[in-house]
Structure 1
Amino acid sequence: MKHNPSTQQSTQKPNSFFNGKNPFVRYPNKASARGAPVQVPHGLASRDQASPSFPGGDSVQAPRVPASRDQASLSSAQRDTTAHSPKPMPAVQAHASPSSPRATVNQDGILKFLLDMKYARKSQLLKRFGDNDQTRSEIGQLLRAGFIKSKDRDLTARSLLIPTLEGYKHLQTGAKGMLLAEPVKRIFDPMVRHDLILGDIRLRFEELNFIKKWNSEEMLKVVPGFAKLMRDLPDAMCERNDGNSYFLELEISPKNRKVYEDRVEEYKAILEMDEIKAQGINGVIFLCTDPKVLETLKSVTPKNTKAFSVLPITRYLKDFILEEVGV
C-alpha cells in the first residue's frame, strides 16, 4: 500500500477487465519445467500461522535448484504464450529494430519483465533469466539498442535497469493485441526500495511455484476496470495454481492507523463486488517489513476470516537478497 504519484491514465484501449474474461497473458509454472514436486495449498493464510507457508496454511517445500539455470529456465516465449482468456493472446515476437541488431525472444522477455515491474536491478534479471554470459550479453544489447537504460556507465549487480519508450514501442510492434505495462516517465526515489523488494517477492513466489501469474500495479493501470474501481491500485494481483487470485500489498514503513483502517474497509467493499468475485479474487495479503506495521495491520483487519492475511516478509525472503535492498 502506498501513494504513487506516477499513476496515470493509460493510452491503451484493451477490452474491459469486467467482461468475464481476464485479458492478461498467463505464465506457465517454472517449477513444472524444473521437474520439482511442489504442493500447492488452498485458501488464504490465517493471521496466526507460525510455520513458513504460502497463504493457505499448508506448508510448501521449495523446489530443488537445478545444476544449470540455462537448462531449467523457461524462455520468455514459453512464459508469455498461454492466454488467460478463451482466445489466446499472441506472444511477444522478436523482430528487427532499425537502430539495433535483431532482438531475441529472451531479450523481449527481459523487456516485458522490466515494464511489468517498472525497473529492476541487474541481479534480479540474472536471477530470473539465468545468471550466465548469455543473459549478460542480452542486457548489454538492450542497452546499446536504447531499449533499456541505466545511470551506471559500468553495470554492477546493483545497477538499476529501466525500460525506455523505445523498448515499449519495440514490444508493441511484435505483440499486437497483448496488454503491455507502459514505461514510467519518472522514478520517485522514496518508492525504489519498495519496488525492488516487491520484485524480490515476485521472484521468490515464482521460484517456489506459489503462483501461476503475477499482474503488477503497472499492468493493472492499463485495465480500465481496475483503474476506475479502486482509489489506489494494489501492488499486485496474483493468481494461484488453483485459479483463485488475491491482492498483494507490501508495507515497508509505518503510517497513521487511520490509513490502514480506511484501506481495510475499502478492501472489504471491493471483495464483495460481483465483478471481483467473478474473477476469482477472494482476498488480500499484506506483507510487512516493519514489526510495528505488522501489529497495527493485524489489529485493524477482520478476525476469523480467510479474506485477510497479515504476514512478515521474512516468511518468504529471509534468505533472499534483503541485504541489497536494506530490509
Structure 2
Amino acid sequence: MTKTSAGHFFEDYHVGQVIEHAVPRTVSGGERALYHALYPARHALHSSDEFARACGMPAAPVDELMAFHLVFGKTVPDISLNAVANLGYAEGRWHRPVWPGDTLRARSTVIGLKQNSNGKTGVVWVRSEGLNQRDEIVLDYVRWVMVRKRDIDAPAPETVVPELQSALAASDLVVPEGLDFTGYDFTLAGEPHRLTDYAVGEVIDHVDGVTVEEAEHMLATRLWQNTAKVHFDLTVRPEGRLIYGGHVISMARGLSFNGLANAQMIVGLNGGAHANPCFAGDTIKAWSEVLDIAETTAPGVGAIRLRLVAKKGGEPFTLRGEDGKYLPNVLLDLDYWALMPL
C-alpha cells in the first residue's frame, strides 16, 4: 500500500463534498515581516500597532491578503495540486481580522463541476473557509480551478455550475469591531486623499514596477505552504515555472499604495481572473479603477470598490482588445472592496 499521495484529480470530486484541509498554521510576526520583505506593502494599519490603536483596534492586524494566502495554501494539496490553472474568484469576505498568535485552518465544499470538452480536464468550484482557533470564520471565498483527470475514460459527472454574485453589496461587508477613522492621521498614513476625493470611473496609474525573480516567487509560495507543482517543477511545466497568482495579487496591491495609501483594509473580493500567466523576469506594474464608493455604519469609515489590474508592459488603462479578450500583457483583473476614511 503506497503511503504517498498524488493528489485529487477531477473524477475524485463530487458536489457537496466537504474537505477538511491538513496542517493548521499559527501566525507569528515573522510571517508579517517576511510578507513586507516580499511585497511593497506599506499600509499603515498593518505596519504600526500605534496607528492601529488610534483607529480603534487593539494592535495591527496582519495583511488581509497574507491571511488569504495562508488559507489558500492549505487548500492546494486537496484542490489544485493537479490543476492546470486557477481560473477565478468570487464572493470573498473577510469576517474578522487575523492577529499574530491566531491559528488558521481551512475547509472547502465542492459546489460545482463541469468536464471540459477535451475530456482531459474539468472545472471544479469550491467554497473555501478559513477558521481560527475559536472555530470562527476569518474569511471565505469561492474559486474555480481547471483540474486534470487521472483517467480520461472516467465518466463525466453531472454538470453543476453554481450561480454566483457578480459583486458584494456594501451592506454585505463586515467592518472590524471597533474600527474608527474619525481621528485618522493622514500624514502618518502617507497620503491626504480621503474617500470623498475619489470618483466612480476615476483611474489611477500606480507608476512603480517590480521585476519578479525566481527565488523570490518560490520563497513566497513556500511561505504559504502552497504545493502546486506548476510553481516549482519544470518537468510539469517545461515552458517555465508559473508564478503563483496570489504573488501577483499581493505585488499589485503593494504597488497600489502609491495613489491608494488610505485604502487600508480589504474586506470583500467580488471577482478576479488571472488573465495571462506570469513568469520570472516579468515586470509587474499596476493601475486601478474606482468602481463604487459607499458609507458604512462605522464612525468615519467608508468603503471603496476598486478594480486592480496588474500588467507586464503596455499602456495603463487598457484591459481588453477589440475582440473582448484580455490583452496578452494583462496578468490580473481583480475586483475588491477596501475600507477608507471618509
- When the two structures are superposed, what TM-score results if normalisation uses the length of structure 1? 0.25
Higher helix share: 1
